[in-house]
Amino acid sequence: MSKEINTPQNNSEEVDLGQLFNFIGDAFNKLFRFFGSIIMYVFNLIVFSAKAVVKNYKIIFISMVLASILGYIYEKTKPDVYSSQMLVKPYFDSKYQLVTNINFYNALIGERDYKQLTEIFSINEEDAEKILEFEINPGPETENDRLVQYDKFVQSLDSVRAQEVSFDDFIDNRSIYSGEFFEISVKSYKKDIFRSLEEGLNSTFSNTYSTKKMEKRDSILAIERQTILSSLKEIDSLKKVYINVMLEESKSKDGSYTTKDGLSFIQEKTDTKEYDLLDKEISLKSKLSKIDAQQVEEDVFFDTLSSFQDVGAKYSTIYQKYSIIFPILTFAILCIVYLMTKAVRFVNKYEG
């Protein structure tokens, strides 16, 4: 009786498993057919492209050779471009004005407003027309410099938010204003114009915001300096008091005295803490030296770490290799023309 009851259940389980395996098999077959169709499509595309190239290789070869010759001639007839770099370190957030002015100079070049360029850089209009482009980029920095910047950034955040920002995320999301050093690059058709541009570029750092920030910094340093000087005067006065106390104690013999009744007393030595005073004085003088050093080091809006060269270096990139670019463009144009011709023929033959 039990065998008759269990048999239908076993049969149903076998049917379910069979359907499952059939479903998995069909899914794999569809997946293989899908990838196979993609591979065949790519293969057909490669063969179709190769067939077109082989069929028209003479036209392609002659066209690319002529384009290479034309590109080489254009390279030799085109005037040389020279470039030079200047490395600066701005203070008092004058970097914002610097970047703004560099963009302004490029706008003047784009609009061919050479009159304003001559007024800004004190050069003649002929030299102003030779300037091609101004460019500003973050200056060179080491991995340690990036780590220091990252530590400062993390310290400015709360502990929860700081854990969400990784070092790589910080580096990827930095702007041009993040660094301390900036490289100003100029491109020109004239190779010895760069030195004459320095004076005009130097004036770009000065602005009302930076001037006020510098004055505010000087006022704060003056207050700190006055506070330290007052503290040093008080320490000096206290040192004199301690010295007088020590002199008075030294006058008494062995630090003891005897009364008329013959009783002897030992006078306790006063604790003057001379070492603590000396240590405090050294600390205050160190802070005073740092304040004076900071005021001397940052008494301008920028420092020039390296100036423009007297003669710029010849500037060349792959985009100026016209003997290579022209053949590539020619091949691309031939491909587009070929595809358009095929498309037109297909449309004309198509009847729905």
Cα-Cα-Cα-Cα torsion 141, 147, 152, 158, nearest 10 degrees, comes to: 140
In the predicted model, residues of the chain with pLDDT beneath 70 are 1-18, 204, 242, 245-246, 248-275, 296-297, 299-300, 351-352
**What average pLDDT does the structure give for the chain?**
77
CA distances from 306 to 34, 84, 86, 181 (A): 61, 11, 6, 11
Segment (H or E) for 182: strand 182-188
b/e string for 33-71 if b means 16 or more Cβ within 10 A? eeeeeeeeeeeeeeeeeeebeeeeeeebeebbeebbeeb
Which tokens hold the place of 347?
């449309």
pLDDT at 200 (0 to 100): 79
Report the pLDDT value the prediction gives residue 3, as an integer from 0 to 100: 45
**Residue 94: both structure tokens together:** 């004058």
CA–CA separation, 96 and 98 (whole Å): 5
- Cβ–Cβ < 8 Å for 291, 225: yes
Size of the chain in residues = 352
The per-residue b/e assignment along 198-209, b for 16 or more CB within 10 angstroms, e otherwise, is eebbeebbebee
Quote the pLDDT of residue 264.
47
Residue 137: DSSP 8-state: E
pLDDT at 12: 60
